Chains A and B, each alone.
Chain A
Amino acid sequence: MIRKYFSWKIMICGVFSIFFVQCRIPYDPSLKSGQSNSLVAEGFIDGASISTIKLSRTRQLTVGDTAVKMNELNAVVSIEDDHQNKYSLTDAAGKGIYSSSNVLNLNPANQYHLHIITSNGKEYLSDFVPFKPSPPIDKVDWELKGDGLHIFLDTHDPNNATRYYRWEYNETWEFHSVYYSTAIYNIGSNSVTPRSEPVFICWQSDNSNNVLLGSSANLTSDVIDKALLTFIPFHDNKLSVLYSIWVKQYALDLKGYNYWQAMKNNSENVGSIFGPQPNQTVGNIHCISDPSETVVGYIGAGNSFATRIFISNVSMPTNWNIYPDCPLITVPNNKDSLLYYFNDGGYDPVAIFHLSSGDINYSASYGQCVDCTTRGSNIKPDFWP
């Protein structure tokens, strides 16, 4: 029995291993060269607004900060059609965003592709695609249901020719600080002075980050009814004052639709233990200098259609807004208190009080209750009413 007992004890060590205690070890496969640093081209050959192509590079997964963007600069980018017309795009801001200087007057009968020569001399071409104009968006509307606000879109093509749609949006909302601040803390001098720039009204903005696709292929007529664009949960700050959404609609061909669909699917899951099989659908851009090189992106062509709507807090139920906990405190005017509350404590002054005693003190609250620029910009967008 001693033998058995002894063996069992050893065995337990083995059993630990079953439960992954020491069995998960870091692993970096040696990737084939060229698997990272592939060219990524995103954009649309647009006959209705400025054509913009964003060029960047894929980054390695396992090394460094994946938040670092790698923009592709100094490339020669042009749109070409099958009738030898050529339109150059330039990266004015040096951010890898190549735009046409004005709205291009594109002939819908022609086919278009994108031509890129990168700074390392490599040449890329996208496949010729037909020019596919988008029908107008019939309306962007909203509905309060369930636990929030659903924003959706209706569109249709009377010619039944569009069938596949993609949408992007940019949402902007106005929001207010809890307190109207007339004072500002200056770090350098550790003092509070009257504020010249108001920080009570701000605007925040965000782009769509989900792939939004729609298809009417299974319908007898080319109608998209109530395609959901976004959902704003009840009480969300986006609708505390006024909200606006700008929606841009693109018409896709089937290949483009499938490309976006695959991309949508692929980004839902990072490879888990038994995760579903991911794969990367090949886009329509190819490196002609090196046909084996991976290039990411699908470049379509057509007229986009954009529209904007506003939704006001007035239309929301009265209990939409909930106010954050913003206690107002009084800070005496001495160096230690100023340092304690304003430099280190995350408070911002609201107002300056000149007491009858001749002393000065300050009302103050948490920074986010006072200064809306902590979350947004106090510059009013030009489209804002």
Chain B
Amino acid sequence: MHYAIDKQNNVFITKGFVLSTELDAGFFNGKKNFARKDTSKSIENPEYVDESKEAMQEISIQNKLFEIGLKLNTIPKGNTNIAGYIRDAQTGEAISGAMIYVEKPHVQVISDQFGYYSIILSSGRHTLNIAAPGMFDTRRQVMLYSDGKFDIFMDEKVMKLKEVKVDLEKERNVRSTLMGTNKLDIASIKQMPTAFGEVDVLRAVLSLPGVKSVGEASTGLNVRGGSTDQNLILFNSANIFNPSHLFGFFSAFDADLIKNVTLYKSSIPANYGGRISSVLDITSLDGNDKKIAGSAGIGPLTGKVTLEGPLVKDKTTFVAGVRTTYSNWLFKILPQEYNKSRASFGDATIHINHKVDNKNNIYLNGYISSDKFNLNSDTTYQYQNKNANIKWKHNFNNQFYGVLTAGIDHYDYSVSGNDNPVNAYKLSYSINQSKLNADFSYFLNNKHKVSFGLSTLYYHINLGSFDPLGKVSLVKPDTVEAEQAVESALYISDQYEVTPKLTVELGIRYSLFNYLGPKHIFTYVPDLPRQESNILGTVYYPSGKIVKTYGGPEYRVSARYSISDNFSVKASFNNLRQYIHMLSNTTTISPTDIWKLSDPNIRPQEGSQVSFGLYKNFKSNTIETSVEVYYKWFRNYLDYKSSAVLIMNHHIETDVFTTKGKSYGVEFLVKKATGKLNGWFSYTFSRAFLRQNDPLAGELINEGKYYPSNFDQPHNGTLVGNYRITHRYSFSFNVTYSTGRPITIPVSVFDYGGSARLLYSNRNEYRIPDYFRTDFSLNIEGNFKVKQSTHNSWTIGVYNWTGRKNAYSVYYISQNTTIKGYKLSIFGTAIPFVTYNIRF
């Protein structure tokens, strides 16, 4: 990194080359003299001066003609394929989602998650335009003789100068066939003010239209009326079951390691499956391939270090990071009634990228996160995620490659209580899944891009064990029988450009789920409520025997029609199946949630969605606007009977019932990605309803009519902005409003059956008060000395600066003879914070 200050005190930061704010002495007489003269006169518009070879290359590279293939005297007729990687010129990081574009005739492809592209052009000379989020647009002159490889390096847009021309990537939202997809790059995530200054990936996702959360201490996402368990959260292909730290205040991903975050909420590509609401794909950096670099940061609660760089020059890169907390100091200074609480958490990530040869790459990923806390009692909660996977990418040829992924995902929690040694216990639960995926991409021609693959996933879930803790404990050990299953899928999809204006993506995925023995399955009296008194007995299935099979096709269709260059219409239809259910008495993700597989008594969830959207860009694509409308319906979503017992329940089906649901909404987004003032505003009107239609439930919820689901928050508006005051100071702000979530409350009391009973409102008939929060932060870049090995920055800010006591929940407790209602807020005051970050 370099910086320069001109005479108007404008500060310029550059990466990889030095910016001179003045012309060199001797510039006009042709002599190159790079010695800076402080007294020389300033100029209006800074120019790049080729101090480094790389910068020189960047200027001339755009005009250089690259000859690809076997050079011939005459240009052969027909088509030629070129393929390669798009990378960051400074760090070697692969750039996904880059658009490679030829104007005449109009041909366009987008790089995949490895930064890989493949394009077919007529032989001869072409100008490739390349655009990617956060990168300077560039172009390459190519002369195509025959098929060949062509890697493209792009420069990072370190700062947005006024002169920066409008980049093509803004058209992405208009041109892509995907709809309901939001991609956040880490730079915009880092700008957002957050509680305790902790950069939080999931909270950034929460600011997107259609994404909600039931409360502040929750990073559980409700996407378009779906529940928190209906999101597939992938971190470098690892399935993360509990993505939160510290009772849900923070997300479990270290933002310094993350490259980008993509949320698919309406068109879900056919290679993803297993959840019915959305896919949140988080990818880490690949690691700098030029030099060892790193960063460190401290905030009020956490400290973290990240390191990246080459292990073997041009072969292997790595990125690794650890984050840990020292939050216990907080508890020690609290009043006595709280100061016995303890909490600790940490996470570690490693990603290794190894290039075996031109055709083979290997990627290794490891992730671990763990949490331990007790809230002023002798009950300790612990949970952890552990994930590892290996990917092997093989390029068969320019147009065809495959990726083989093998991985294991683990999640467990335990609760131990030892306030009385006689009753001391430990409750534990764990999920293990092993998976094997083979995914292939075939760039048939510029009109067809075909993806296909198959996957298999083996689950083994220990549904809970309750054991004595210590020698004197009299707790009777109990174990809920473990369950296992295999979920397999086969998919194929084709992205087909029918005409330059119309592109369709057709996909089909067939998923198959086999619930396997050894397992005892409870059987119930047919046609009677599924409750304990109606248990007939159990049937035992020995190991390896298939207990139950579910499966079916899932359709993924989307289409885009361009009305003009900056205006398009998109539509999509989706159909998904989910064979795992999260059982939670709370509406958030909590450490004691149980994931349970579908079994003969619990059917898989099925969801479908149709959506339609209009995308229009204004002012030369600097302002993006979109409107999306969706209607979603799903069935076999589990809701809970009154007084359901979920933990250590040997027959959970007696405490749950299935519901069908529907949700619909309209999402407006206005986004300005460039300029001094940038950010977005989103407004969503949406409703989400459930309806009990399970004849075996034994009780009817709201007379069997549709009722609002726990996350039905009709109005939701978010404003996220960043204003650059100077090049050193910038100001970020967030404003969030949403309707309070629905709750069921006791409305009156009466006497019946010899005792006082409570009359509850219809389920979710009431709402907690509306939510409103404003945060801001000031980001200060450190000093701008010429030669320094480290760069530092400060962030100071206030979370919830209006101090509004937003309700998290409303509850009732009996005091003397009266029952009183209370409202609980998590962040009931304005919370100032300071963080310090250093890069080296």
Q: Any chain B CB within 8 A of the CB of A90?
A: no
Most buried by B among A3, A14, A296: A14
Asked if A353 is at the interface of the complex by the 8 Å CB criterion, the answer is no
Q: Interface code B632-651, partner A: CB below 8 Å = 1, 0 otherwise?
A: 00000001111110000000
How far is A20 from B334 in the complex, measured between Cα atoms in Å?
12
Bound state CA distance, A269 and B643, in angstroms?
7
Question: Which A residues have a C-beta under 8 Å from some C-beta of B?
Answer: 3-4, 7-8, 10-29, 31, 35-38, 40, 42, 56-67, 69, 168, 207-211, 214-215, 217-218, 254, 258, 260-263, 265-282, 294, 296-297
- Nearest 3 CB-CB pairings of A with B: A14-B831, A27-B823, A58-B748
Given contacts A23-B824, A62-B821, A4 and B753 within 8 Å (CB-CB): no
Tell whether B335 is near chain A: CB-to-CB under 8 Å: yes
8 A/B residue pairs, CB under 8 Å, sorted by A = A16-B334, A61-B819, A208-B753, A260-B753, A266-B643, A275-B811, A279-B699, A296-B752
CB pair B758–A13 under 8 Å, yes or no, is no
> Which of chain A's residues has its CB closest to B803's CB?
A17
List the interface of chain B (C-beta within 8 A of A). Answer: 196, 300, 330, 333-335, 338, 341, 524-525, 528-529, 531, 533-536, 585-587, 590, 639-644, 698-703, 744-763, 766, 796, 799, 805, 807, 809-814, 817-834, 836
* Residue contact A12 to B330, C-beta cutoff 8 Å: yes
The reply to whether B832 and A218 form a contact with Cβ atoms under 8 Å apart is no
Given A35-B748, A211-B753, A281:B700 Cβ within 8 A: yes
New A-B contacts (6) at CB < 8 Å, excluding given A67-B817, A280-B759, A281-B700: A267-B757, A269-B643, A271-B811, A274-B586, A276-B585, A296-B752
* Chain B residues, CB < 8 A from A277: 585, 639-640, 642, 644, 744, 763
Chain B residues with CB under 8 A of A24: 822-824
Q: How many whole Å from B313's CB to the nearest CB in chain A?
A: 40
CA distance A254 to B639 in the complex (A): 22
Contact B760 A279 (CB under 8 A): yes
Task: For residue B628, give the distance in angstroms from its CB to the closest CB of chain A.
Answer: 31
Query: With the chains together, A276 CA to B760 CA distance in Å?
Result: 12
Contacts of B699 in A (CB 8 A): 258, 261-262, 279, 281
Residues of B within 8 A of A261 (CB): 531, 698-699
CA distance A266 to B834 in the complex (A): 47
> Known contacts being A17-B827, A27-B822, A265-B643, is A61 close to B528, with CB within 8 Å?
no
Q: Is the CB of B300 within 8 A of A11?
A: yes
B831 & A17 in contact (Cβ 8 Å cutoff): yes
Expressed in whole angstroms, the Cα–Cα distance for A210 and B752 within the complex equals 10
Q: What residues on B are CB-neighbors of A281 within 8 Å?
A: 699-700
Selected contact of B759 from candidates A4, A7, A63, A294, CB within 8 Å: A294
Q: Knowing A62-B821, A271-B745, A273-B809 touch, does A215 contact B533 (C-beta < 8 A)?
A: yes
Task: Judge whether B755 and A23 touch: CB under 8 Å.
Answer: no
Q: Would you call A14 and B827 a contact (CB within 8 A)?
A: yes
Check B757 against A61 for contact (C-beta < 8 Å): no
Tell me the complex Cα distance, A58–B834, Å.
53
- Give the shortest distance, in Å, between B826 (CB) and chain A (any CB): 7
CA distance A296 to B528 in the complex (A): 24
CB atoms of B822 and A26 under 8 A apart: yes
| Residues of chain B within 8 A of A64, CB atoms compared | 818
- Decide: B810 and A29 in contact? CB cutoff 8 A: yes
Give the complex CA separation of A57 and B751 in angstroms: 9
Bound-complex Cα distance A60 to B756 (A): 12
B750 & A19 in contact (Cβ 8 Å cutoff): no
A15 in contact with B807 (CB, 8 Å): no
Q: Which residues of B contact A15 (CB under 8 A)?
A: 330, 334, 831
A69 and B755 alpha carbons, distance in the complex (Å): 12
| Chain B residues within an 8 Å CB radius of A296 | 750, 752, 759
**CA–CA, A261 to B530, complex, Å?**
13
- List the B side residues contacting A36 at CB < 8 Å: 747-748, 759
| Given the contacts A273-B811, A280-B762, A29 and B745 also touching, CB distance less than 8 Å | yes
How far is it, in angstroms, between the C-alpha of A262 and the C-alpha of B531 when the chains are bound? 12
In the bound complex, do residue A218 and residue B826 qualify as a contact, i.e. CB atoms below 8 Å apart?
no
> Do A218 and B761 touch (CB < 8 A)?
no
Partner of B642, one of A19, A272, A279: A279
**Using Cβ atoms and an 8 Å threshold, which residues of chain B touch A258?**
529, 698-699
Q: Which residues of B contact A35 (CB under 8 A)?
A: 747-748, 759, 761
Pairwise interchain contact B750-A40, C-beta atoms closer than 8 A: yes
Q: Could you say which of A20, A58, A215 contacts B824, with CB atoms under 8 Å apart?
A: A20
The docked-state distance in angstroms from the alpha carbon of A21 to that of B822 is: 13
Q: Report if A279-B822 is in contact (Cβ < 8 Å); known contacts: A29-B810, A59-B750, A210-B755.
A: no
A66 to B762, CA, bound (A): 21
Q: How far is the CB of B797 from chain A (nearest CB, A)?
A: 10
- Which residues of A lie under 8 Å from residue B823 when comparing CB positions? 24-27
Q: Which residue of B lies closest to A63 (CB)?
A: B818
In the complex where A7-B796, A14-B829, A62-B819 touch, is A278 in contact with B746 (Cβ < 8 A)? yes
Closest chain B residue, CB of each to CB of A25 = B823
Q: Assess the A61–B822 pair: CB atoms within 8 A.
A: no
Q: Given A61-B749, A66-B819, A276-B644, do A282 and B703 touch, yes or no (CB 8 Å)? A: yes
A19 touching B338, Cβ below 8 Å: yes
Is the Cβ of A23 less than 8 Å from the Cβ of B805? yes
B824 engages A270 (CB within 8 Å): no
- Checking B752, B756, B820, B825 against A62 with a beta-carbon cut-off of 8 angstroms, the contacting residue is B820
In the complex where A258-B698, A276-B585 touch, is A270 in contact with B758 (Cβ < 8 A)? yes
| CB closest chain-A residue, reference B753 | A211
A11 touches B760 (CB 8 A): no
CB distance from B228 to the nearest CB of A (A): 14
Identify which of A10, A19, A263 gathers the most chain B CB atoms within 10 Å of its CB.
A19
Evaluate whether A11 and B832 lie within 8 angstroms (CB atoms) in the complex, with A279-B699, A279-B701, A280-B762 already known: yes
Instruction: Determine the distance from Cα of A16 to Cα of B811 in the docked complex, in whole angstroms.
Output: 21
Residues of B within 8 A of A12 (CB): 330, 333
Is there contact, CB below 8 Å, between A266 and B760?
Answer: yes
Determine the distance from Cα of A297 to Cα of B759 in the docked complex, in whole angstroms.
11
The answer for the CA separation of A280 and B750 in the assembled complex, in Å, is: 12
Residue of B338, B528, B745, B752 touching A263 (CB-CB under 8 A): B752
**Min CB–CB distance A15 → chain B (angstroms):** 5
Q: A262-B642, A268-B643 are in contact. Are A17 and B824 (CB under 8 A)?
A: no
Q: Are B821 and A29 closer than 8 Å at their CB atoms? A: yes
Residues of the A chain whose Cβ atoms lie less than 8 Å from the Cβ of B810: 27, 29
**Are A66's CB and B818's CB within 8 A?**
yes
Known: A62-B820, A279-B744, A280-B760. A215 touches B644 (CB 8 A): no
| Chain A residues with CB below 8 A from B531, complex form | 261
CB <8 Å contact, A266 and B642 = yes
The complex places the Cα of A263 from the Cα of B749 at a distance, in Å, of 12
Residue of B nearest to A10 (CB): B832
CB <8 Å contact, B812 and A271? yes
Pick from B640, B750, B824: contact of A56, CB under 8 Å: B750
A153 to chain B, nearest CB (A): 16
- A218–B536 CB distance below 8 A: yes
Looking across the interface, which residue of chain B has its beta carbon closest to that of A274?
Answer: B586
Q: Is the CB of B534 within 8 A of A218?
A: yes
A231–B698 Cα distance when bound, in Å, is 28
A66–B817 touching, CB < 8 Å? yes
| Docked complex Cα distance between A371 and B531 (Å) | 49
**Which residue on B lies nearest to A15, using beta carbons?**
B330
Asked if A270 contacts B746 (CB within 8 A), the reply is: yes
Residue pair A62, B818 in contact (C-beta under 8 Å):
yes
Residues of B within 8 A of A13 (CB): 829
Is B828 a contact partner of A22 (Cβ separation < 8 A)? yes
Complex Cα spacing A18 to B817, Å: 29
> Whole-angstrom distance between the alpha carbons of A260 and B182 in the complex?
49
Contact between B748 and A7, CB atoms less than 8 A apart: no
Q: Are B534 and A217 in contact (CB under 8 A)?
A: yes
What is the CA–CA distance of A206 and B83 in the complex, to the nearest angstrom?
A: 86
Q: Is the CB of B533 within 8 A of A18?
A: no
Known: A7-B833, A18-B827, A209-B755. A265 touches B750 (CB 8 A): no
Known pairs A217-B533, A258-B698, A261-B698; A272 contacts B828 (CB<8 A): no
CB distance from A225 to the nearest CB of B (A): 13
- Known contacts being A14-B830, A271-B744, is A57 close to B750, with CB within 8 Å? yes
